[in-house]
Amino acid sequence: MASFLVSRDDWSLHRKGYIDQQRHQEKVRDAIRDNLADIVSEESIIMSDGNKIIKVPIRSLQEYRFRFDPGQGEHAGQGQGDTQPGQVLGTEPGPGPGKGGAGAGSEPGFDYYEAEITLDELADMIFEDLRLPHLKDKRAEDLENISYYFNDIRRAGLMGNLDRKRTLLANLRRNAMHGQAGIGGISREDMRFKTWIESRQAHTNAVILAMMDTSGSMGNFEKYIARSFFFWMVRFLRSKYERVKVVFIAHHTQAKEVTEEEFFTRGESGGTRCSSAYQLALKIIEERYPPHDYNIYPFHFSDGDNLPSDNDLCVSLVQKLLEVTNMVGYGEISGPFYRGSSLMQSFRRVKDPRFVTVTIKDKTDVYPALQKFFSEKELA
């Protein structure tokens, strides 16, 4: 006779699935780390609004094996009745607008493994290798200031710091102990006072002067690159400084301060004079951000298509900027066909190690650019 047993065990210690899931997560992390160059400029991240879980495509976590090409050949399916040849069962979403780049077309869309990660975790990974170079130590003292925190309650203190709510509560309790409900007869022993502690803290401020060429030659791609760079730059500096401000300066032949939105969306036509942006930057520094209070990071993006007569002026202005800032960056976005521009050539003359130039040809160059800009370097 067959027997049927029904039992119930305590499974609470059976963690196997979770342990291997953890290991899988670790592998996902590793894969993300290996693919940072691709992920840094991922559209879904740059355009995301802050603290949420984002999905990043990873290509290296598939369990590869010899398999038939799912995109080729015929498969069997089942309809609800009376299906006719030619009927469309479904359509694969086409490649997303930001997915471009090499090889995306030749791979079927379902080859991605999408990992979920919070923006903060991702930022930690990206910033792991980044350092804040050229920090001037003397500033720490200059910027140290004293602040007060009320964080303690005592029975004695200044009458001005009386904590009314706690005092009333203490009174209520005392009355209750004597069997009376309600407030009344507040005496000295009910009184509670707030007390403060002093804290000395260095206030660190940083300003990013984001400058961008908005002349006709800067297309959407160039703006997108600049955007992803500034996105991470702001996030990185926020992790190092208490306050990070960003000033957006757009320029063509003239420079002006604009809002973030205008900065990334507005396009102008006409020629380019980069010196105008540098002049405005110097003016803003002088008026609003005294160098001994602020760590200043000007960074300029352009396609390098500058008026040749303007180049010498740019070089001398960059040198002036270097005197008042922590470091100066120049990123040239050259698109897929690199021409080598005259502005970049002129900048070769600037020998200061705090002047960093990067050339960006496609999305994957954003991460190396960040690394180049924020890498540990000795101050010359």
Partner 1 sequence: MDELLELERAAEEIGTLAAGFGLESGGIQFELCPADIIYTFGAYGMPTRFAHWSFGKQFYRLKTQYDYNLSRIYELVINSDPCQAFLLEGNSLVQNKLVMAHVLAHSDFFRHNWHFRFTDRKNILEVMALHAARMREYEAAHGRREVEIFLDACLALQEHINPYPWLARTKEEESKSEPPPTGYDDLWVLDRRETKGPAPAASRKNPPRPEKDLLGFVMENGYQLEDWQRDIIAMIREEMRYFWPQIETKIMNEGWATFWHTRILRELDLPEAEAVEYAKLQGQLLQPSFMVLNPYLVGVRIFEDIEKRWDEAPEAGHGREKLFEVREIESDMSFLRNYLTKDLVSELDLYLYKRVGSSWVVTEKKWEKVRDTLVQSLNNGGFPYIEVLDGDYGHRGELYLKHLFEGRPLDVLYVERTLPYVYLLWGRPVHLETVADGKTTLFSYDGKKNSRQVIGEG
Q: Is residue 90 near partner 1 by the rule CB under 8 A?
A: yes
Q: Within a 10 A sphere around the Cβ of 36, how many other Cβ atoms?
A: 21
The rounded distance, in Å, linking the Cα atoms of 37 and 15 is 35
Q: Is residue 182 near partner 1 by the rule CB under 8 A?
A: no
- Considering only CA atoms, which of 231, 230, 243, 220 is closest in space to residue 54? 231
**Residue 201: half-sphere exposure toward Cβ, Cα within 13 Å:** 11
For partner 1, the binding residues in 106-145 under the rule CB under 8 A are 107, 111
Task: Figure out which of the listed residues 49, 63, 198, 323 binds partner 1, where binding follows CB under 8 A.
Answer: 63
DSSP-based three-state secondary structure for 378: coil
Beta carbon of residue 244, minimum distance to partner 1 (angstroms, whole number): 37
Q: Is residue 19 near partner 1 by the rule CB under 8 A?
A: yes
Task: Figure out which of the listed residues 50, 52, 68, 156 binds partner 1, where binding follows CB under 8 A.
Answer: 68
Question: Are 263 and 270 in contact, with CB atoms under 8 Å apart?
Answer: no
DSSP-based three-state secondary structure for 226: helix
Chain centroid, CA 112 distance in Å? 24
- Structure-token match 């890498």, residue found: 375
Beta carbon of residue 179, minimum distance to partner 1 (angstroms, whole number): 50
Q: Is residue 8 near partner 1 by the rule CB under 8 A?
A: yes
Phi and psi, residue 299, nearest 5°: -140, 135
65 versus 138: smaller Cβ distance to partner 1: 65
Task: Figure out which of the listed residues 49, 50, 51, 73 binds partner 1, where binding follows CB under 8 A.
Answer: 73
15 versus 339: smaller Cβ distance to partner 1: 15
- Considering only CA atoms, which of 366, 368, 352, 342 is closest in space to residue 318? 352
Beta carbon of residue 112, minimum distance to partner 1 (angstroms, whole number): 12
**Number of residues located near partner 1, criterion CB under 8 A:** 58
Q: Is residue 13 near partner 1 by the rule CB under 8 A?
A: no
For partner 1, the binding residues in 91-110 under the rule CB under 8 A are 91-94, 107
Question: Are 55 and 43 in contact, with CB atoms under 8 Å apart?
Answer: no
Task: Figure out which of the listed residues 51, 80, 269, 309 binds partner 1, where binding follows CB under 8 A.
Answer: 80
The rounded distance, in Å, linking the Cα atoms of 61 and 30 is 10
Beta carbon of residue 258, minimum distance to partner 1 (angstroms, whole number): 40
Q: Is residue 177 near partner 1 by the rule CB under 8 A?
A: no
Beta carbon of residue 76, minimum distance to partner 1 (angstroms, whole number): 5
Beta carbon of residue 268, minimum distance to partner 1 (angstroms, whole number): 38
The rounded distance, in Å, linking the Cα atoms of 366 and 362 is 8
Bridge partners, 209 (sequence order): 247, 298
Q: Is residue 164 near partner 1 by the rule CB under 8 A?
A: no
The rounded distance, in Å, linking the Cα atoms of 372 and 365 is 10
Cα separation of the two ends of the chain: 89
Q: Is residue 51 near partner 1 by the rule CB under 8 A?
A: no
Task: Figure out which of the listed residues 67, 164, 178, 348 binds partner 1, where binding follows CB under 8 A.
Answer: 67
Binding stretches for partner 1 (CB under 8 A): 2-9, 11, 14, 16-27, 61-94, 107, 111
